[in-house]
Amino acid sequence: MKLLIFLSFCLATVSAGNNTICTSGFTLVNSKCWKLYPDPANHTIAERTCTNVGGTLFMTKNAIDNRALASFVDGSGVSHVWMGLFCIGNDKSFCYFDDQKGSPTTYNNFAPGFPNSGVGRCVYYSVPGSPGGQWINGDCTETLSYVCELPPTQPDICDINFNNNCYFRLEDQPFSTAQLECQQMCGNLVSIHSAEENRFITSIYSQSSYDSIRIGGIATSKDFIVWTDGSTMDYSNLEVFGSSGNCLWLSLQTTEYHSKGSWFTGDCTTPKHFVCKRPIGDLNCSATPPPPTSAPPTPNPPTCSTGTYMAPGIIASPNYPGQYRSSCAYTLATYGSNKIRITFNYIYTSNSDVISMYDGDSGDAPLIYQQYSTYGTTLKTYISTGNTMYVYFKYNSGATSGYSGFNATFYSVF
Ligand SMILES: *[C@@H]1O[C@H](CO)[C@@H](O)[C@H](O)[C@H]1NC(C)=O
Ligand SMILES: *[C@@H]1O[C@H](CO)[C@@H](O)[C@H](O)[C@H]1NC(C)=O
Ligand SMILES: *[C@@H]1O[C@H](CO)[C@@H](O)[C@H](O)[C@H]1NC(C)=O
Ligand SMILES: *[C@@H]1O[C@H](CO)[C@@H](O)[C@H](O)[C@H]1NC(C)=O
Domain boundaries, the chain: 20-150, 160-279, 308-413
Report the nearest atom of ligand 4 relative to the CA of 314: 13
Alpha-carbon distance 240 to 257, whole Å?
Answer: 8
Ligand 4 pocket member 378 (CB < 6 A): no
CA of 97 to the centre of ligand 2 (A): 21
Ligand 1 pocket member 370 (CB < 6 A): no
- State phi, psi for 63 to the nearest 5 degrees: -65, -30
What 8-state DSSP symbol labels residue 295?
P
Fold of 20-150: Mannose-Binding Protein A; Chain A (3.10.100)
pLDDT at 15: 41
Segments of the chain scoring below 50 in pLDDT? 1-17, 287, 289-299
Q: Are 252 and 212 in contact (CB under 8 A)?
A: yes
Alpha-carbon distance 221 to 32, whole Å?
Answer: 37
Residue nearest to atom 14 of ligand 4 (CA): 407
End-to-end CA distance of the chain: 49
pTM: predicted TM-score of the whole model, two decimal places: 0.72
CA of 333 to the centre of ligand 1 (A): 33
Residue nearest to atom 10 of ligand 3 (CA): 284
Residue nearest to atom 9 of ligand 1 (CA): 18
Q: Are 226 and 265 in contact (CB under 8 A)?
A: no
Please say whether the structural domain 308-413 has been given the CATH code 2.60.120.290.
yes
Contacts of 33 (CB under 8 A, 6+ apart): 22, 23, 26, 27, 55, 149, 150, 151, 152
CA of 288 to the centre of ligand 3 (A): 14
Ligand 2 pocket member 122 (CB < 6 A): no
pLDDT at 296: 39
CA of 20 to the centre of ligand 1 (A): 7
User: Quick one: CA dihedral 361, 363, 364, 367, positive or negative?
Assistant: positive
Residue nearest to atom 5 of ligand 1 (CA): 31
Residues listed for the chain: 414
Residue nearest to atom 12 of ligand 2 (CA): 141
Fold of 160-279: Mannose-Binding Protein A; Chain A (3.10.100)
pLDDT at 115: 94
Residue nearest to atom 8 of ligand 4 (CA): 345
pLDDT at 64: 95
CA of 277 to the centre of ligand 3 (A): 20
Alpha-carbon distance 296 to 313, whole Å?
Answer: 15
Q: Which of 346, 347, 348, 403 to mutate to test the pocket of ligand 4 (most atoms within 8 A of CB)?
A: 346
Instruction: Return the biggest CA–CA distance within the chain.
Output: 84
Report the nearest atom of ligand 1 relative to the CA of 18: 1
- Same topology between domain 20-150 and domain 308-413: no
Residue nearest to atom 4 of ligand 2 (CA): 45
Check residue 54 and give left, alpha or beta (phi > 0: left; psi -120 to 50: alpha): left
pLDDT at 375: 62
